[in-house]
Chain A
Amino acid sequence: DGGITQSPKYLFRKEGQNVTLSCEQNLNHDAMYWYRQDPGQGLRLIYYSQIVNDFQKGDIAEGYSVSREKKESFPLTVTSAQKNPTAFYLCASSRGAGAANVQFFGPGTRLTVL
């Protein structure tokens, strides 16, 4: 089956620790995205990548980092510099970047800082 997988489903972090969220897609999509969702709010874009070895900051990139070494993978690291990291994180991919391309979403990772 083609799709997007995210792992883990739940993640707990102590303050001061960095954690990495995994996102993998087998849709052969060039573009990938990371969004953050807080209760009662819409999704906000953290980072996006239009192609391998390239990525751009979104609206709320501070305290996060990404890499895009493979077309299939777009991991997100939540660093200790992120002041309020507890949230639901969603990864998406699309054939190309831009509004003309429909985005497909993964099942999400819920991160909780203890």
Chain B
Amino acid sequence: KQEVTQIPAALSVPEGENLVLNCSFTDSAIYNLQWFRQDPGKGLTSLLLIQSSQREQTSGRLNASLDKSSGRSTLYIAASQPGDSATYLCAEGIQGAQKLVFGQGTRLTINP
């Protein structure tokens, strides 16, 4: 069964801290791993996409890594800001499949 798990379900940290969000996946036939941001009541915005041949991708204060051997991806957020508060979802793209498999998301709150 294809499963993607995100732990913790919720995280609250003070402004300015560096933090890591975790994503684990079970299907070894990974094609890519994508991180999304979702604000309350809104759609998803793509943040970073890592191909299976890559180990990491960076965009501004965000860095996503991929370790296929352990079935894990992390999203690192540097110098967190209140505007980073949102739910972050990871999704695995699987070879030969038409769909993405989503994790449950981590709800992040950055306290001023």
Contact = CB atoms under 8 A, between A and B. Distances in A.
Chain B interface, DSSP helix/strand/loop, else mixed: strand
A107 interface: yes
Interface string A79-94: 0000000001010100
Given A99-B94, A99-B95, A102-B49, A43 B41 contact: no
Interface of B: 4, 9, 31-32, 34, 36, 41-46, 49, 89, 91, 93-105
B99 to A, nearest CB: 5
Nearest to B101: A42
A107 B42 contact: yes
A99 B100 contact: yes
A110 interface: yes
A75 interface: no
Interface in A89-114: 90, 92, 97-100, 102-108, 110
Contacts of B42: 107-108
Contact of B43 (A59, A97, A100, A105): A105
B37 to A, nearest CB: 11
A108 B43 contact: yes
Name, among B41, B42, B99, B104, the residue most crowded by chain A CB atoms within 10 Å (CB to CB): B99
A40 interface: yes
A99 B93 contact: yes
A25 interface: no
A43 B38 CA distance: 12
A43 B9 CA distance: 15
Contacts of A100: 31-32, 93
A42 B43 contact: no
Contact of B102 (A6, A42, A50, A106): A42
Contacts of B98: 31, 48, 50, 56, 97-98
